[in-house]
Amino acid sequence: MSRLRHRRFLLILLSVAVIGQWGCRRAEEKGTPSRQRTRYKVVLDPGHGGVDSGASLNGGQPEKVLVLDIALEVERLLKERRFSVILTRRSDQYVSLWKRAKIANDDHADLFVSIHANSCNDDRASGFEIYYAENGRESESLQAARFIQQCLKRATGAKDRGIRKHPYLVISQTKCPSLLVEVGYLSNPREAKLLSRRSYRRKVAEGIAKGIIAAVRKRG
């Protein structure tokens, strides 16, 4: 074999070895969650439950049923991205506000998101609102709120009523970044009808989940 052909042969062998190692690494990466995804823990809190039905309109589905359905869908979407997800309730059961905050604290959550539907005396009021509270993690809470705000608006087209600060117990007593999302007004007939549709609740869940994912990416 000539010297030139010998060099070419060695280069081919080296290339095959390198490509094989790269392919194995890619396969391992694809099959193994990143450290960030496996470590990041989200607690989802479907509001109300049990004897506490929350808001409703003219005998329609109560808030406790609608928000649980949304939370379960958010959980599914986040788990597809290999997040660790905990729900404060998975069925129609009453859980005290203190217990909800305690679940997040005991499990050392990275983010707590409470999901609710709104109601007021003015049936013209509509849209979603996001709340955060003073708990020592306001800056991180506000950053996550902004991502969920953008993604929820994009997913649903609903009126954006802004981000507000309020000392709700479930978000003021948690030790991690925490938010309370009011997904719409059940006192508004049009919005109540939308929230009664599973297809619309999927959009709401998609917006919340995408906002959480975007916030984690930003956090790095």
Q: What is the pLDDT of residues 162-177, one digit of tens each?
A: 999 999 999 999 999 9
Instruction: Please count the structural domains in the chain.
Output: 2
State mean pLDDT over 47-75.
Answer: 95
| Same-domain check for residues 95 and 181 | yes
For 174, phi then psi, to 5°, come to -90, 150
What are the residue numbers of the active site? 182
| Same-domain check for residues 77 and 116 | yes
Comparing CA positions, the residue from 40, 131, 138 lying closest to residue 86 is 40
Q: What is the pLDDT of residues 74-106, one digit of tens each?
A: 999 999 999 999 999 999 999 999 999 999 999
| Same-domain check for residues 100 and 23 | no
Q: What is the pTM of this model?
A: 0.83
Categorize the per-residue pLDDT at 71 as very low, low, confident or very high, splitting at 50, 70 and 90: very high
| Same-domain check for residues 42 and 27 | no
| Same-domain check for residues 10 and 40 | no
Categorize the per-residue pLDDT at 25 as very low, low, confident or very high, splitting at 50, 70 and 90: very low
Q: Please report the pLDDT score of residue 189 as a whole number.
A: 95
- Buried/exposed code over 69-86 (b: 16+ C-beta within 10 A; e: otherwise): bbbbbbbebbeeeebbbb
| Same-domain check for residues 22 and 106 | no
Structural domain including 8 reads 1-32
